[in-house]
Structure 1
């Protein structure tokens, strides 16, 4: 069975609710995970907006140290890493006004080894790429 990622807060490829955005409190969505490979030792989550007007996009959330048997990931799960804003925890969508729809990819990674510390999303993808057993995502859209 392949890893699946969903959310009770928004359906895949639909508009994210205002409550999840930076303008309305940045409440972290609940991310649900099933089908994690038995050999996984840990899960990680990265939420990334590739549409942000920055060379590498904008990372809104990183979470490490998620137990491999977790079925829900929320704002209090695991070790909250830093965002592209340099802050720990979830930073909700806040695209420039009139910039159109931005895509928010909530990637969940099943890993064969534990993540040390709280790397940036780029450091994580570079340092742990060979340790990813499976990955999948849910995508939400938002514009202002």
Structure 2
């Protein structure tokens, strides 16, 4: 395996500009820094704490996605996604990605690329370059996206493009 590779830009950087920006932070890691070991698949599999602020007036719900653009598959790998979080939900506690956790009335977790509806922990190939785990939150002007729990992460992102009021990201890294 050729491990000497340059990381490609994250696809979020190529999306149309959002009308406003959200500030996304974490108590567990700083932007661009390493995620806790416990975020790793088989090492605790615990989702990190996240908070966001700066949602504009008219925000009715949020979509949150964690994506690894460095996964060795075309299009990267989605590790976690929640859609329909009410506007008054502005944080997720560490471990909130555990299967069955609720994130406000009307919210639901979409299947990640592992095929489970929870936080699919960081799992870069051993010895690979540090992978980026991009946690993006979108503030939406609707709480009725027409989507359900069987929707894919890609469909949720696509179907809400016209409802985005603001967007923000924080990136953590992980390496085995």
TM range (shorter): over 0.9
Superposed CA deviations along residues 84-143 of structure 1, whole A, max 9, x for unmatched, are 111111111010011111000000000012232132221112111111111010000011
* Cα root mean square deviation, aligned: 1.3
Aligned partners of 1:5 and 1:64: how far apart in 2?
A: 16
1:117 paired to 2:136: no
Aligned partners of 2:32 and 2:50: how far apart in 1?
A: 14
Structure with higher Rg: it is 2
Q: Which runs of 5+ in 2 are unaligned?
A: 1-19
Off by >3 Å, runs of 4+ in structure 1: none
Aligned partners of 2:133 and 2:152: how far apart in 1?
A: 17
1:126 paired to 2:155: no
Q: Which runs of 5+ in 1 are unaligned?
A: none
Aligned partners of 2:21 and 2:67: how far apart in 1?
A: 22
Higher strand share goes to which structure? Answer: 1
Aligned partners of 2:79 and 2:158: how far apart in 1?
A: 18
Counterpart of 1:3 in structure 2 is: 22
1:141 paired to 2:173: yes
Secondary structure of residue in 2 paired with 1:137: strand
